[in-house]
Every structure is written in structure tokens, then in C-alpha cells.
Amino acid sequence: MATIEECRSALDKLSDNLAGADGDVRAAAALDRSLSCRVTDLDITFVGRLTDGRIEVLHTVQGPPREKAQIRLTMTGDDLVAMVDGELNFARAWGAGRVKLEAALLDVFRLRKLL
């Protein structure tokens, strides 16, 4: 099972990947939205923002967040680490129910370019 530190490191790596992206990926990541990433097996949620093509984690809370973020991800820590490391395909994991993405329909259409 992935640790809190490994999950936080994975989010930092994902942020770096988004910041270094070009073209459609960079445009899709250029949203300015509140973001949460709930790690179910650790019962924690990373809360922050997707802004300027980066993920900025502001804090970590125990359990689900008090407020709903505009973009919400839910998964296990192992799946988060595996996705960022390229060992798990987001679209397949999403289709299989291993990853949950909740966002406004227009945001989902923009975010699909990241897949």
C-alpha cells in the first residue's frame, strides 16, 4: 500500500509533467479549478488547485473534504502512484471503476485530452 508521502510525491510528479507538457495537454491543464484527490485506502484527501498548468496541493485532510472541489478524483494510493508512473492507464482504470473523476461536463471534455 502506498504511503501518504508516496501519494504526495506522485501528485508533485504529475504537476511537473503537466507543467512541462505542450500543445493540447498544456491547454487542457491550463484550467483554474479547485481540485481534490481522495485516496480511499489511506482515508485522506489532498486539496488544492489546478492553476497555470500545475497542481498546487494546499493541504491534506483526513477523510473526505468538507467542500466539494470543482474537479474531484478518487482512487487508491497504489493506483495513483501507478498512473503517474505510467504503469496504469487512466482511461482503462476510469472505465473499470478503479478511478473516479467528477467535474463539470465541459471540464471533463477538456480534461480528456490529458488521457
pLDDT for 114 equals 65
Distances (CA, A) of 59 to 24, 41, 62: 29, 18, 10
Give dist(CA 64, CA 90) in Å, integer.
Answer: 22
pLDDT for 4 equals 97
69-109 pLDDT, tens per residue? 999 999 999 999 999 999 999 889 999 999 999 999 988 88
Structural domains in the chain, CATH included, are: 4-110 (3.30.1050.10)
Helix axes 77-84, 4-19, angle to 10 degrees: 30
Tell whether the model's pLDDT for residue 113 goes beyond 70.
no
- Phi then psi for residue 48, to 5 deg, are -170, -145
Between residues 24 and 92, the one the model is more confident about: 92
pLDDT for 109 equals 80
Average pLDDT value over all residues in the chain: 91
- Phi then psi for residue 55, to 5 deg, are -100, 120
Sequence letter at residue 74: T
> How does DSSP classify residue 55?
E
| Cβ proximity of 50 and 29 under 8 Å | yes
> 49 CB contacts (<8 Å, ≥6 apart)?
32, 33, 34, 35, 55, 56, 58
pLDDT for 52 equals 84
